[in-house]
Amino acid sequence: MFLYFSKAKQIYVYCGSSSIASKSFILTKDISNNTIKLRCRNAKHNMSPEEKVVIQEKKLEPKKCKRTKEKRIGEVIAKVTEWRRLYSGTRKADGSVVKHSLEDAAAVVGIAKKTLDDYLLQLRAGRKYGFDFNMYKDEKVGILRAFVKEKKGKLCVRKN
pLDDT at 21: 56
Could you tell me the pTM of the whole model? 0.55
| Element at 4 (helix H, strand E) | strand 2-6
Residue 25 — φ and ψ, nearest 5°?
A: -145, 160
* pLDDT tens digits, one per residue of 90-132: 888 888 899 999 999 999 999 999 999 999 999 999 999 999 9
Mode of pairing for the β-strands spanning 90-91 and 38-40: unpaired
Instruction: Report d(CA 101, CA 122) in Å as an integer.
Output: 21
Average pLDDT, the chain: 80
Bridge partners of residue 39, in order along the sequence: 3
The size of the chain, in residues, is 160
Instruction: Report d(CA 83, CA 99) in Å as an integer.
Output: 11
Residue ranges of E strands in 7-143: 11-16, 38-40, 90-91, 97-98
* pLDDT tens digits, one per residue of 55-98: 655 555 555 656 667 899 999 999 999 999 999 998 888 888 99
pLDDT band with cut points at 50, 70 and 90 for residue 10:
confident
27 vs 23, 122, 125, 153, CA distance in Å? 13, 43, 46, 42
